[in-house]
Structure 1
Amino acid sequence: MSYPLGLRPGAGSLAIDAPYAERASCKEGRIDGALLGGWGRVSPHLLSAIRRHRLSRFARLIETLEPQVANLPDRRLRELADDLRARLRSARLFSRESALSFALVREAARRHVGMRHFHVQLLGGAAMMGGAIAEMETGEGKTLTALLPAITAALMGRPVHVITVNDYLARRDAEQLGPVYAALGLTVGLAEHGQSPEDRRRAYASDVTYCTNKELVFDYLRDRLVLGPRRASARLLVDRMFRDGQIGGLQPLLLRGLHCAIVDEADSVLIDEARTPLILSGAQEGAENAAGLYEAALDIARRLDPGDAFQVLPNEKSIRLTADGENQIAELAAGMPGLWIIRRAREELVQHALAALHLYRRDVQYIVADGKVQIVDEYTGRVMPDRSWESGIHQLIEAKEHCAITERRKTLAQITYQRFFRRYVHLCGMTGTATEPAGELYATYGLPIVRIPTNRPLRRANAGTRMLSTAEQKWKAVLRSVQAETRAGRAVLVGTRSVEASEQISQLLRAAGLEPMVLNARQDREEAEVVARAGQPGRITVATNMAGRGTDIQLHAAVRDAGGLHVILTEYHESRRIDRQLYGRAGRQGDPGSYQAIVAIEDEIFQRFSSRGLLQLVTRNLAPDRQIPAAIALALRSYSQSAAERLHGRARQAAVAEDDRINKIFGFAGPE
């Protein structure tokens, strides 16, 4: 059976007592979750052909309607869109009305931005309109594809949020695609970092709003703080709220509800970033924020012996004090005033100081720029402005780096991505890598995966895997590979996991007489320019995970003739999907390209997630400068990444459980 947009089953009932449209929480038991996860994993394989057949039939209907709109003047296209509004509200999912909407979007895009949707993009748009995640290869035009369901939903009168992973992409897409929306009588808004509340309200009042996941969730939490305990009685005030934008004389809300969300890079947003809750914080009144407190904590932490006094648990990102360590802290803090008198307070403060020293590394988890500690997003490699770690850890890191100490913050509201995105009336998305987490996406969000074929055959070649014993050997091998590919006239992209690693390989390349372009958290403002030049002959680009995701590397004709872009992965990530995302920078849209992995046993993923005995067994009797056999390297990669993904899965479950606990206590996160 087909369901109208936004009325798919299994996502919880509408929260009619809420001040604006959203779904109430829907909780499954463990058995239900396991069954849903199992079905989510197998359904992309079992039902892909059936789903694609249905979508293809709908795409053919769109293509039969296209000649009817192709020769109409712009004014008539606008009138047709206006006529569709009422009809779409009662139309079935893959109806003639929906197909006509898609045909109008296709024609408007051709006229106003010079891009006409390919057949496979029609399939992707239809999959999202049906409440699924469209898995489309990198370079297949997901941004343009999202226009189809976004405009169709907007014509139904539903506020649409198109969610991207950074402000640059949100602004680019809103500006680039704005003429298409305008041609069909729709407005486009942009909610980005640094805007005033008035500008945000105007953005969310538009038919379609482009925004980032973090900005959107924080705006939702701000609305929840405004509402406070009025949730239960808000239904009586809905008319007034939508008339003057205020509730009971309080400040107006930012959002108009959670109607329709189209999530770009859905795996990154819904899986990778779902391990920790989003916390809205405010100034902590009466907090003891003197720099001396943090300096003293760091001084005590530096005097404790690893092993005897504390244990570092990198996988859990925590520090465990031993009984001996607790006694040492008491001795070292003897006679100190304030918090140091309280046993629990001093031990917690020193634990956090130990974490700042041993778990948070400069140029990995954060950078220091303009005298400030700035957090680096571990998944995108981008700086997260105005974000801070909680529990005083941020201030301890500032003290460690001799930066000005910022004000400590207190939690005002928090919510997990899992809880937030399940509240949308209609949720869908797109990404190039959704197959691996298909089970979790279906069990958590009710989102099936639909694989969309490429417009042109893939020509991306796998140049193999090389695993070496030491990091030094690895970097030498990377250097030789870069030299060989650039001599052949190709462009090269070297992918690293951290700012530190990107700068290390860049120094080696320069010492060898090469001149790489570097793209990491320090150069994120030049991202578009660096990516635009990354396809030139002999060009070497060294990048962290950001790697221009969401933008195309345009190949020079000479590079295309020489074999295209060559991608070198220098360290496996904790998720197979992120490796695939990096590989996907090559061979886009039918272009030639290749990729290879050059890694070392000393890489963090193997040291953290493989046992010491296993690593010793692998390297035993291995001659210097000899690489580990490919079969063993792939097995070790699989073992380590599987362990990491299991750990992260448990972290996501723990985040949801903790969010449930907090929600029961404080009722921050909306209707149950």
Structure 2
Amino acid sequence: MLSKTRIAPPAERILRPYPQRAVPRMNWTDRSLRALRGRLAAAGPRRLRHRRRIDRVYRLLDAAAGLSPADLRARADEIRRAIAADGLRPDHLDAAIAVVAAAAMHERDMRPRPVQVSGAILLLRGTMLEMATGEGKTFTAALAAGAAALAGMRPHVATVNDYLAARDAETARPLFSRLGLTLGLVTGDTAPEARPAQYACDVLYANNTEIAFDYLKDVVAMGPVRSHARRLLRRAIGAPGARPPARTILGGLHFVIVDEADGVLADEASTPLIISASEDAPPDPAPYVAALRLARGLVDETHWFIEAQSRRVRLTGEGRATLGERARPLGGLWQVAAAREERVRQALQALHLYQRDRDYILGTDPEDGTPKVVIVDEATGRPMPDRSWEGGLHQCIEVKEGLPPTALRVTIARITYQRFYRQYLRMSGMTGTGQEIAAEMRSFFDLATVAVPPHRRSRRRFLGVRLCATAPAKYEAIVASTREMVARGRPVLIGTRTVAASEAVAAALTRAGIGHTVLNARQDADEAALVADAGRSGAVTVATNMAGRGTDIVPDAAARAAGGLHVILTEHHESRRVDRQLYGRSGRQDDPGSCEDIVARDDPLYLRFAPLVSRLAQGLPGPLAARLLRRAMQARAESQSAASRRQQFEAERDVARLSAIASPEHG
């Protein structure tokens, strides 16, 4: 049952400000200096930080652990008053962490480990925390969120999906309740009228997408004048724009802890979150059909090419001339160069940059059962049925697939995660893989990345790399390795990049008579249950990147005795972080485990990002060639992704600046 709390009456809400941070305007020098600080921070030794503060937390915890429930709540109230009087002093925050930990001992007999106390201290400071998988990020976040709530910081704990938000909230609820703190939960199923009450709680757990969209709804409702002081001034002089809505949803952006922060703040950073409305009728498919026909008649590298850094299609001079000649019989807007070139560029992107079973799948509309294009999230492999591409691209892909185009959508409000999270007064993040993006986190979010060492050294063994000549040879090697591990009684997790690749591996296993489960965008109905079952002795699971981040694969007793979970990486990803995340599925929490790479020389990513190294590596031994291919490909891919995010950030900043100049608030 969701927590209930008092909602201020409309008149009171009108006079209440909406706390959020103005996004600072930074030049190239500012970002470079931040990035340099991030690199220096990321290069530091991995050691347990803040020993003195950790010791103080444990002393205070030992003193609080024996308190009665009434005395523990009184101690929490005492800490609240001390912070209200003195501010966020380290000794007060340490006392707050200790009292939350004492509540955990009372309710769940959970005593935090030093890495978890250290992590809570770092989160309260505003840090990107790298914590190895299985080290207890959920409990660490609860310690920090509870302490922040006692400090009056109104923390939001943002997770990557509804399941994790609900799971983590139910874990933390008894702890917070014992201290007199209320906990709110917002998921996709939370009714609009119930949301303000949840956000008004002392702590909120929610899917990060839900928080961002609720913020956008507040932006739309409040209009252009969002400054509380400006509203009061306009009210005093009788100017328009003086009265805000009677009730906002969030009530402000105070403090956020972003779970799986590397995925949200890097991989998903530039994804636009859009509130839109459909036009009255679907568009005429004829222009899309014509654009696709013309695009199919153009020759790669002669008439068009793909710009590597931006992953956009560009027409050559010869391509523009050829297009103008071939479009002459069509009439209308096809005679306007800018219009026809944009339509055909879009069609070329639909044909060559967006592939079925990689970037999207053909799903089913739950309302009428008709086929529909469903976007697949590139970073997680999850289906995103509520998302659509902008500017007619989605409709072009629908026509390419033989579907009628859906109605175009008109944008009402939009924001990216990158800009949204920068507006919190204080933010921090947690991830198992943060060192690779430390400089970027410092540059864009002013977050230092700090790695805390594991409670126990990982027992996971890396069994090496097998580089096969072709994809069919790779599938044979995967089948052989899987059969060997299953014969030993070990569970196997086989990781792939795309839906198509997961189904190719599944087909090879089926031909070999090896039972298995597939987890991808087409078969994701009960992801948590499938991932949890993947630790059963002899179980074989084939999964895309969506393999249950945040959900432990727990080997059963027979599996642990046989050597634990074995992970097979079948394709290197564009980011080293994603590879590390897959390896991290095994060898958790002192369990044994192993991993290996079985990849092919003809992998499209090698050919796309490292064509020269692909040619040079032909005569090299397999392990050396694989290492060179992986490093070259990932270095270039990560560099291009970071550059793309930087360009997106600068473009969004420029648009926001122009909007601010045109806004009545700035007039």
**TM-score after normalising by structure 2:** 0.90
Name the CA distance, whole Å, in 2 between partners of 1:398 and 1:109.
52
The counterpart of 2:200, out of the listed 193, 197, 205, is 205
SS in 1 for 2:450: strand
Is the CA contact 2:515–2:540 (under 8 Å) kept in the aligned structure 1?
Answer: yes
Q: Residue by residue, what CA displacement relative to the aligned partner does 1:35-69 show, whole Å, maximum 9, x if unpaired?
A: 221221122443655xx342x22221122122332
Give the CA deviation at 1:266: 1.4
Name the CA distance, whole Å, in 2 between partners of 1:386 and 1:470.
37
Distance of aligned partners of 1:337 and 1:211 in 2 relative to their CA distance in 1, 3 Å threshold: farther
SS in 1 for 2:330: coil
Which has the larger displacement, 630-639 or 317-326? Answer: 317-326
Equivalent residue number for residue 657 of structure 2: 664
Which has the larger displacement, 263-272 or 108-117? Answer: 108-117
Equivalent residue number for residue 179 of structure 2: 184
Name the CA distance, whole Å, in 1 between partners of 2:196 and 2:348.
42
Name the CA distance, whole Å, in 2 between partners of 1:586 and 1:262.
26
SS in 1 for 2:53: helix
The one-letter code of the counterpart of 2:198 is A
The one-letter code of the counterpart of 1:294 is Y
Name the CA distance, whole Å, in 2 between partners of 1:108 and 1:247.
45
SS in 1 for 2:541: strand
Equivalent residue number for residue 6 of structure 1: none
Give the CA deviation at 1:564: 0.7
Which has the larger displacement, 30-39 or 592-601? Answer: 30-39
Aligned pairs (5 A) from 1:482-631: 482-611=482-611, 613-620=612-619, 628-631=621-624
The counterpart of 1:369, out of the listed 363, 368, 390, is 363
Name the CA distance, whole Å, in 2 between partners of 1:574 and 1:130.
31
Name the CA distance, whole Å, in 2 between partners of 1:546 and 1:68.
43
Is the CA contact 1:372–1:404 (under 8 Å) kept in the aligned structure 2?
Answer: no
Name the CA distance, whole Å, in 2 between partners of 1:133 and 1:330.
52
Name the CA distance, whole Å, in 1 between partners of 2:618 and 2:270.
34
Is the CA contact 2:309–2:644 (under 8 Å) kept in the aligned structure 1?
Answer: no
Equivalent residue number for residue 293 of structure 1: 287
Is the CA contact 2:432–2:581 (under 8 Å) kept in the aligned structure 1?
Answer: yes
Give the CA deviation at 1:313: 4.0
Identity over aligned pairs, percent: 44
Is the CA contact 1:18–1:234 (under 8 Å) kept in the aligned structure 2?
Answer: no
The one-letter code of the counterpart of 2:616 is L
Name the CA distance, whole Å, in 2 between partners of 1:91 and 1:402.
66
Equivalent residue number for residue 640 of structure 2: 647
Is the CA contact 1:163–1:264 (under 8 Å) kept in the aligned structure 2?
Answer: yes
Name the CA distance, whole Å, in 2 between partners of 1:76 and 1:337.
82
Q: Residue by residue, what CA displacement relative to the aligned partner does 1:468-524 show, whole Å, maximum 9, x if unpaired?
A: 221111111111111111111111110100111111101110110111111111222
Equivalent residue number for residue 309 of structure 1: 303
Q: Residue by residue, what CA displacement relative to the aligned partner does 1:134-185 show, whole Å, maximum 9, x if unpaired?
A: 2110011101110111111111222211111122211221233222222222
Is the CA contact 2:234–2:242 (under 8 Å) kept in the aligned structure 1?
Answer: no
The counterpart of 1:101, out of the listed 88, 96, 99, is 96
Which has the larger displacement, 632-641 or 134-143? Answer: 632-641
Aligned pairs (5 A) from 1:153-168: 153-168=148-163
Is the CA contact 1:178–1:188 (under 8 Å) kept in the aligned structure 2?
Answer: yes
Which has the larger displacement, 202-211 or 547-556? Answer: 202-211
**Where in structure 1 are there 5+ consecutive unaligned residues?**
1-16, 241-245, 623-627
Equivalent residue number for residue 385 of structure 2: 385
The counterpart of 1:28, out of the listed 4, 26, 29, is 26
Is the CA contact 1:519–1:542 (under 8 Å) kept in the aligned structure 2?
Answer: yes
Q: Residue by residue, what CA displacement relative to the aligned partner does 1:535-581 show, whole Å, maximum 9, x if unpaired?
A: 11111111111111101111111111111111111111111111111
Is the CA contact 2:269–2:418 (under 8 Å) kept in the aligned structure 1?
Answer: yes
Aligned pairs (5 A) from 1:64-143: 64-91=59-86, 93=88, 95-143=90-138
Name the CA distance, whole Å, in 1 between partners of 2:70 and 2:638.
53
Give the CA deviation at 1:91: 4.5
Is the CA contact 1:221–1:669 (under 8 Å) kept in the aligned structure 2?
Answer: no
Name the CA distance, whole Å, in 2 between partners of 1:631 and 1:449.
31
**TM-score after normalising by structure 1:** 0.90
Distance of aligned partners of 1:396 and 1:505 in 2 relative to their CA distance in 1, 3 Å threshold: same
Name the CA distance, whole Å, in 2 between partners of 1:494 and 1:208.
38
Is the CA contact 2:164–2:550 (under 8 Å) kept in the aligned structure 1?
Answer: yes
Which has the larger displacement, 272-281 or 348-357? Answer: 272-281
Name the CA distance, whole Å, in 2 between partners of 1:420 and 1:512.
49
Name the CA distance, whole Å, in 1 between partners of 2:503 and 2:190.
33
Equivalent residue number for residue 450 of structure 1: 450
The one-letter code of the counterpart of 2:385 is P
SS in 2 for 1:411: strand
Give the CA deviation at 1:637: 1.1
Distance of aligned partners of 1:522 and 1:314 in 2 relative to their CA distance in 1, 3 Å threshold: farther
Is the CA contact 1:413–1:668 (under 8 Å) kept in the aligned structure 2?
Answer: no
SS in 2 for 1:229: coil
Is the CA contact 1:120–1:452 (under 8 Å) kept in the aligned structure 2?
Answer: yes
Name the CA distance, whole Å, in 2 between partners of 1:523 and 1:107.
42
The one-letter code of the counterpart of 2:126 is G
Name the CA distance, whole Å, in 2 between partners of 1:233 and 1:71.
46
The one-letter code of the counterpart of 1:31 is T
Is the CA contact 1:93–1:130 (under 8 Å) kept in the aligned structure 2?
Answer: no
Give the number of equivalent residue pairs. Answer: 640
Equivalent residue number for residue 635 of structure 1: 628
Give the CA deviation at 1:323: 3.1
SS in 2 for 1:523: coil
Distance of aligned partners of 1:356 and 1:53 in 2 relative to their CA distance in 1, 3 Å threshold: closer
SS in 2 for 1:595: strand
Give the CA deviation at 1:417: 2.9
Is structure 2 residue 317 aligned with structure 1 residue 318? no
Equivalent residue number for residue 351 of structure 2: 357
Give the CA deviation at 1:315: 5.1
**Where in structure 2 are there 5+ consecutive unaligned residues?**
1-14, 236-240, 365-370
The one-letter code of the counterpart of 2:21 is R
Give the CA deviation at 1:90: 4.2
The one-letter code of the counterpart of 2:422 is R
Distance of aligned partners of 1:67 and 1:659 in 2 relative to their CA distance in 1, 3 Å threshold: same
Name the CA distance, whole Å, in 1 between partners of 2:105 and 2:661.
45
Q: Residue by residue, what CA displacement relative to the aligned partner does 1:586-636 show, whole Å, maximum 9, x if unpaired?
A: 10011111111111121122011012x43222114x7xxxxx432232122
Give the CA deviation at 1:248: 2.5
Equivalent residue number for residue 39 of structure 2: 41
Distance of aligned partners of 1:159 and 1:325 in 2 relative to their CA distance in 1, 3 Å threshold: same
Name the CA distance, whole Å, in 1 between partners of 2:457 and 2:212.
38
Name the CA distance, whole Å, in 2 between partners of 1:89 and 1:669.
40
Give the CA deviation at 1:233: 6.2
Which has the larger displacement, 561-570 or 265-274? Answer: 265-274
Name the CA distance, whole Å, in 2 between partners of 1:561 and 1:297.
60
SS in 2 for 1:589: coil
SS in 2 for 1:28: coil
Q: Residue by residue, what CA displacement relative to the aligned partner does 1:347-378 show, whole Å, maximum 9, x if unpaired?
A: 21121111111111111111111111111111
Give the CA deviation at 1:343: 2.5
Name the CA distance, whole Å, in 2 between partners of 1:206 and 1:177.
14
Is structure 2 residue 254 aligned with structure 1 residue 256? no
Name the CA distance, whole Å, in 2 between partners of 1:668 and 1:18.
26
Give the CA deviation at 1:308: 3.2
SS in 1 for 2:268: helix
